[in-house]
Structure 1
């Protein structure tokens, strides 16, 4: 059995779920975790953040329920409403990070969200992925390779493959945590969930 974590790096609820995922992976170090980008803000939804009037209210709710941090640098980034959340770019970056350290994908997904929601770094910039890789302890040459891969064809192809895979699992909300055992797929959590709740669902699976 493995866990499949379908998230979007620009999804505040995914950011809020990071501690839960971290705790589950700590409790089950032998359980493989695959991270799949879901593609929340693509196509017609790739617009300035001001067009999503619910963002600030939603973030307050996420912080209240999960303790997630939304830092001052993030608040400054989105303050004038012109920032565009581009999930295709974020998925390319996640693919580049995942390729560099596949066994640390869950950790890197959380670090990527922290880079945006706490540090206010755009996930559409190659430099962000260099920073995330460096902070994760990857050697400088690997961090440079991650930044270069962000704009390459392999990462673009992987991003599209992720979107198809998320759709194939029938995922309609982010984050979604799945337990996959052969052809059997069990939904462990959608949106907000505590580690205890996930643990109960995992036991039932």
Structure 2
């Protein structure tokens, strides 16, 4: 009788698709996934930063966001595209986290693949922050699915399903219960224990050192 393999420690990357600092953190998380393959699972969770009353036309927050972009670019090395800046300057784009978060939940339900979900979450952010695409429009996600081999019809069916909307709200509630105060937040789960690895952006080397220390201590 074969023994069940012990589950790997898990890095919960808690982000929001509309969070600029999360966009800056995404390459770090992708690198962690590659460098720690076989030692650590990486899962992406959505926090719902701009939902309900916090969802507004971007014109209402663009002054604040615009000032922050330069800080994100300087600290992380990512670049925000001219198409996104033009979209934001126009002011009409409705800054709402629910639909892009629901897209990630639907993708994860279909693929059941943690690594692909991390990659798709980055692609969603790049669609907005690089290419200025409308994340509130369901068809925006069709081209993003192609590299992952996900059927567009199945995705759109799942995306529109009421149970997917409910699952997305449940994910927001679960993140709130964890006590996350801001995005991104990285939490390592080892067995029944959870450890906050990083609040906000951290460069890869700092994340790597923290992970190595946690993994050694957990042995």
TM-score, structure 1 normalization: 0.93
Q: Deviations over 1:42-68 (max 9, x none)?
A: 121111111112111111110111111
Structure-to-structure mapping, 1:116-155, within 5 angstroms: 116-134=128-146, 136-139=147-150, 142-155=151-164
Decide which moves more: 92-101 or 112-121. Answer: 92-101
Distance in 1 (CA, whole Å) between partners of 2:181 and 2:48 is: 11
Q: Does 1:88 align with 2:102?
A: no
Distance in 1 (CA, whole Å) between partners of 2:78 and 2:159 is: 27
Partner of 1:46: 55
Distance in 1 (CA, whole Å) between partners of 2:177 and 2:208 is: 25
Q: Does 1:17 align with 2:29?
A: no
Q: Deviations over 1:96-125 (max 9, x none)?
A: 121233231111111110011011111111
Structure 1 unmatched ranges of 5 or more: none
Partner of 1:68: 78
Asked which structure has the greater CA Rg, the reply is: 2
Q: Does 1:108 align with 2:116?
A: no
Shift of 1:154: 2.7
Aligned length: 202
Q: Deviations over 1:167-186 (max 9, x none)?
A: 12111110111101122111
Distance in 1 (CA, whole Å) between partners of 2:170 and 2:128 is: 23
Distance in 2 (CA, whole Å) between partners of 1:75 and 1:12 is: 12
8 Å Cα contact 1:126-1:148 kept in structure 2: no
Shift of 1:192: 1.2
Distance in 2 (CA, whole Å) between partners of 1:150 and 1:27 is: 32
8 Å Cα contact 1:4-1:36 kept in structure 2: yes
Q: Does 1:174 align with 2:183?
A: yes
TM-score, structure 2 normalization: 0.87
Partner of 1:156: 165
Distance in 2 (CA, whole Å) between partners of 1:137 and 1:91 is: 17
RMSD: 1.3
